Structure 1
Amino acid sequence: MTVIDIHCHTAGIGAGDSGCFISPKLRRSWKYPIYLKSFGVTNTELEREGDCLVLRRLSERLAASSRVQAAVVLAMDGVVDSRGILDRERTEMYIPNDFLARECRQHPNLLFGASVNPLRPDALERLDAAAAAGAVLVKWLPSIQGTDPADRRLVPYYRRLAELGLPLLTHTGLEESFTRADNTLADPARLRLPLEEGVTVIAAHCATSGRSHGEENLARLLPLFAEFPSLYADISALTQVNRLGHLPRVLQHREIHGRLLYGTDMPLPATGLTSPWFHLFRLGPVEARRLAAIGNPWDQDVELKLALGMPEEILFRTARVLKIDQHQKHS
């Protein structure tokens, strides 16, 4: 059966007329060279070969995995101003849909995950275009993009998502990868509105970090699973050093095992943030050494999560939720 990583990132600096950009502030951040290295590229290479190089390297590394066959690569729409126009000053990273859709078509193991800020005046048309271009889901980062999932102005957007059959993968919990974030917008309780409108919602990182209104975000997410059969959560990033114990904590809730989807938050596993040695207490030295010797980041991620108690069936659920034909991209 096909194993799909539902949560994989790319990046770009605008090389090769990609339309991507990274803000000067983020490029000055200590995180920027780490991200470049984790993608397996240098600034010089990007300027010479174009941002498509990131996708090529990602595809090649994924093709070398023995455990994961495909990954959903996520676009990133930006912040928009009061007129609904892209606000470059407040946008830290931008990856346009048309660039990503075109590049994913070049790589059979990469699936196109679109991103459309719902506050754009032509948001519905952009959703239609993304679906026509082969998008398998739509990704939001509310705390970065400045969107409130509970805003009733978004009801037409949610209804279009439901009509198109496009799931909404949206960040829940603290956001720590950018230089600024409004984490009040990542409160999982705000997802009630899209769920009520019939959208398949995937809570990224299973809301395992942070608190909202004095309550842990995971505790605010859990009751929604019982109420809405169309709610899922991904387990990406849950083995990072800043999230130690998060995966076992989620897995304690056996009632949601059937709603968990496999994801990595790649390239973060390639930065060393998910080293098995961070889990030495749970794994023991022999198992930690075995896992640390696995070179491919996807293979190591799968094996580490299995060792920490992830049921194997979680690996195979994404293809069904996204309605991906098992032979569609991998025959």
Structure 2
Amino acid sequence: MDSDNPLVAVDVHTHLGRHGTHVHAPLAEHEIRAWGKVSWDVTEQQHGGASASARSSVVLAFDAEPVGVVVPNEYVAEAVRGNERLIGFASVNPNRPDAVDRLETAVRDLGLRGLKLGPTYQHFHPHDRACLDLLEAADHLRIPVIWHQGTTFTSAAVAEYARPLQLDLPARTFPNLRMWIAHFGHPWMAECVSVVRRHEHFYVDPSAMDTRPWQLAQALASAAEYRVLDRVLFGSDYPFSTVERTVAGLREAAAMCRRLGIAEVTDADIDAICQRDALDLLGLRPPQTSQST
């Protein structure tokens, strides 16, 4: 892929991390059981090649020690340093007693520009006081938040913390905080979209949903019915998928919607998702480039 002519404007969901260094059991073992291999094993060089398909890419740390994954904030900060195309996001488990301090350090000292949360992996409920305190800090720091709010393959996760509806309270509590739900909140896609439509600064991404064409078609149909297709940001979930596979999956799912008569999701709708300026929507564009010339 020619980095001067990328397929998408912004990929809001990519990962770094090596199996055995950042990704351990139980999640790694459960990934093998579910998929036959550990996909979460990607070098900075591999990520750099894949991310050339997007003009800008968000790179996520992940503080999910309860399931065996710790991709440190410092590691991500170093990986994105000096590369204007990559935007590093911190991750902090709200259960840590110094969670707010960790987030402030990640933003102010390491230069990370957002927060990744995954209640089902980090073993907290989105309504917990510790979570709300961390969101208050994110709101004060004026950084966006990405949520993994949906199911997962590992039995080490806490399934009852995964429902998208649980994010309605955080969204009501912090109405100006820009947030989005990854993976369309699958398998609760309609529930996810119903939450997104209620809140002005709430979005969703379709990351890794190309592996589930029927669910992705239902997700796009729900977004069309609820009139929030303009809230769908492009996300691949690399290395679990790629920009190319995600674009193809979105087009296939839109065609399925039309073929089955469940929604009129057009090629133009998919083009809009691929070219959406998520940096502006999420407040991630540097101030000096926020206005067109």
Report Cα offsets for 1:228-250 as digits up to 9, x if no partner. 21211111122214745344434
Corresponding residue for 1:113? 89
Task: Figure out how many residues of one structure are paired with residues of the other and give that number.
Answer: 261
Deviation at residue 22 of structure 1 after TM alignment: 2.5
Alpha-carbon distance change, 302 to 149 in structure 1, aligned in 2, over 3 angstroms: same
What is the CA–CA distance in structure 2 between the aligned matches of 1:246 and 1:168, rounded to whole Å? Answer: 25
SS in 1 for 2:103: helix
Which one of 230, 235, 239 corresponds to residue 267 of structure 1? 239
* SS of corresponding position for 1:159: helix
Please name the residue that 1:288 is paired with.
none
> In the alignment, what sits opposite 2:258?
none
* Aligned pair partner of 1:204 in 167, 174, 182: 182
Matched, 1:22 2:23: yes
State the match for 1:155 in structure 2: 132
Alignment of 1:79-158 (within 5 A): 79=65, 90-132=66-108, 133-158=110-135
> CA contact under 8 A between 2:193 and 2:222: conserved in structure 1?
no
Q: Aligned-residue CA RMSD in angstroms? A: 2.7
Is 1:313 matched with 2:285?
no
Q: 1:112 is matched by which residue type in structure 2?
A: G
* 1:11 partnered with 2:14: no
Tell me the CA shift for residue 321 of structure 1.
2.1
Counterpart mapping for 1:1-331 below 5 A: 3-13=9-19, 20-29=21-30, 30=32, 34-36=37-39, 54-63=43-52, 65=53, 68-79=54-65, 90-132=66-108, 133-176=110-153, 178-198=154-174, 199-209=177-187, 217-241=188-212, 243=215, 245-253=217-225, 255-269=227-241, 297-307=242-252, 308=254, 309=266, 310-315=269-274, 316-325=276-285
For residues 152-211 of structure 1, give each alpha carbon's deviation from its aligned partner in whole angstroms, at most 9, with x where no partner exists.
Answer: 3433222111111111111122112x35221210111211232123232211122231xx
- Higher radius of gyration, 1 or 2: 1
Assess, with a 3 A threshold, how the Cα gap between structure 1 residues 57 and 187 changes in structure 2: closer, same or farther.
Answer: same
Q: Contact (CA 8 Å) 2:27, 2:156: kept in 1 or not? A: no
Give ranges in structure 1 of 5+ residues lacking alignment. 15-19, 42-53, 80-89, 210-216, 270-296
1:264 deviates by 0.8
Query: 1:244 & 1:265 partners in 2: Cα distance?
Result: 14
**Please, what TM-score do these two structures have when normalized by structure 2?**
0.78
Gaps (5+ residues) in structure 2? 1-5, 255-265
Tell me, yes or no, if the aligned pair for 1:143 and 1:184 is still in contact at 8 Å: yes
Structure 1 vs Structure 2: percent identity of aligned residues? Answer: 24
- 1:282 aligned partner: none
